[in-house]
Chain A
């Protein structure tokens, strides 16, 4: 079982021949891939035959979409390349949602798809689909490998592109005959990549660093608006040093959460559509906003012309095409955040006393997150707030898509990068469970908690089997409101309470019975008195477990700025609209350690 091929020196040409599949697997091993997520089928069988002998671990999912999301979850949680495998046709089309998801959130995943034999391509052969064509708009790089001699180089190119610059998904479509064919021309000399080196060599900075330093030093009310770029560039520590030195408050997109400590005095939480009131007010009050690895998307810059229009707008992004794509910026730099933040650190004046930073603290106290506590009801916001406290913001949180996702983003103060995994750009329901499995596999020592809804969990619920089979102990927190809650919220607010096809009530399965059927431990709670016990159950169970929490269907996510609107139009929670006791909380501030009784 000793397989030394992958340790061969670069430039060395193999004399013995190998199959295309073996070359592919060896190239993965040589690039430190240790796990792939997949599902077999006719057109990928030669590959699976080599997997049988390989040191790469393969995890059998229960749906190819699960493989895609699990590979993404693994990549998001570890920073390493994720790998997902499927057969041709239906296998490949089942991957597509995950590929698009990885593209939107810039996550490095290699997708390997089987394809019908080269001689059959174009004949509408059994399980033939144009995977190459379909994946063009949702990959950074894709290739249909028609010649076994091209497998090594193509694989290396794909991996290189996935990991370089602004990361993203890549796809290799492998016809069955190419997987099985032998080649003796197996070399590990990769300097002959055929793609231009701008796609992988680190580029210098373009733009005006001096000007950026200058506008920040002159600014009285600067604000950093950070995105996923800070996480993928691994610059959180640098950013923290910089923000503390110059006393610059930080707000984050959904994708950037965790890149700055959630409980830091300078942190404002998320901005935008469901951002905190204090973050959104800071955006309205600042005189300079600096986007770091963020793209002024329509959930943040809801109204293009009005977004922070009183301020100087600056942008730093590794992807040149993001500069000024939606919102015009006054100062911009295209380049690696590490380089830019280092230069900023050297160039920014140290600030000791800052009225603006003091004002930010006050903004938080005056504009907390709010909801009503109602007797006999569990409020999801309160539950998440408690969970955040109990875990000190240090669990690895994975979410699905909907209200629960927004509540989690608001009330759970994520403290570390890569501890917050969510489908941001594509907003794919069904992301959560497989992504949590991928994350837990990659980070076995961390508590991985999936926060999901009764709609989302049913989109990939079959992956409970995967978690159980491989004993990947994810903790599932399921908020059951009997509705597609986020859809219901929009229908209540914008469609005259016509709840068209947004209810699941009465026809939801008994989720605990489902868990039980998979051999998974579960518990269901519905009364506030059970919250602590429920959290204990989640945190103390060592196996895969599910906690179902019954919550009211009428609960809404606030604050909210409607699509396309200005920040001034932010709708805040009104306590008169409901009975109960107002509960207000600022998750994003330095917490005084509570003495446990």
Chain B
């Protein structure tokens, strides 16, 4: 089952290597990994999407806690939370398909961020599920290049925090 782990870490130069090394060494399946600084500049958030059962995920959390740069881990899977991913895709722009593509962009609430005579670059920020179906559909028009960010997520605010 898919789990989203939000891991607060010290922003040290080796922290990413330590996390990555743990996953390779213990053979955990990782779907995506996203790192960026937080508003506190000595802290970063690593968002990990892993596809493992609950028992394994609890093992992963406990192993992660042994890394000295890991401060806090939240499993967002069972909490109300918002998950987002960004995709940028450049697809072929055939004149005959132009209208179709533009309405697709509309339906998915995506944006056109670059355009040339032959190609169009689309940006979509959405839940991973929507991103996946979007990619499947635009693939039919011929994807020239694509980049995905991997998921980030945040739990919804609850009053008892």
Contact = CB atoms under 8 A, between A and B. Distances in A.
B68 A136 contact: no
A141 B67 CA distance: 8
A321 B63 contact: yes
Contacts of A136: 14, 17-18, 21
Contacts of A321: 59, 62-63, 65-66
Contacts of B22: 137
A501 interface: no
A552 interface: no
Nearest to A166: B66
A interface residue count range (under 10 / 10 to 19 / 20 to 34 / 35 or more):
20 to 34
Q: Which of B25, B62, B68, B69 has the most CB of A within 10 A?
A: B68
A2 interface: no
Interface in A108-159: 132-133, 136-137, 140-144, 157
B71 interface: yes
A104 to B, nearest CB: 13
Contacts of A18: none
A143 B25 CA distance: 19
Contacts of A196: 68, 70-71
A142 B63 CA distance: 16
B interface residue count range (under 10 / 10 to 19 / 20 to 34 / 35 or more):
10 to 19
Interface in B34-61: 55, 59
Nearest to B24: A137
A198 B65 contact: yes
A593 interface: no
Interface string B121-137: 00000000000000000
A324 interface: yes
Given A141-B68, A195-B68, A198-B65, A132 B14 contact: yes
B77 interface: no
Contact of B59 (A141, A161, A325): A325
Contact of B55 (A141, A157, A324): A324
A142 B17 CA distance: 12
B139 to A, nearest CB: 38
Nearest to B68: A195
A199 interface: yes
Interface in B96-141: none
Contacts of A141: 68
B32 interface: no
A157 B10 CA distance: 15
Contacts of B21: 136-137
A543 to B, nearest CB: 44
Contacts of B70: 196
Contacts of A143: 14
A321 B60 CA distance: 8
A324 B62 CA distance: 11
Contacts of B63: 321
A194 interface: yes
Interface string B60-91: 00110110111100000000000000000000
Contacts of A34: none
Interface string A383-420: 00000000000000000000000000000000000000
A320 interface: yes
A404 B16 CA distance: 43
Interface in A340-363: none
Interface of B: 10, 14, 17-18, 21-22, 25, 55, 59, 62-63, 65-66, 68-71
Given A196-B70, A321-B65, 15 more contacts: A136-B17, A136-B18, A136-B21, A137-B21, A137-B25, A140-B66, A141-B68, A157-B68, A195-B69, A196-B68, A196-B71, A198-B65, A319-B66, A321-B62, A324-B59
What 7 pairs between A and B have smallest CB-CB spacing?
A321-B62, A195-B68, A136-B21, A137-B25, A137-B21, A320-B62, A321-B63
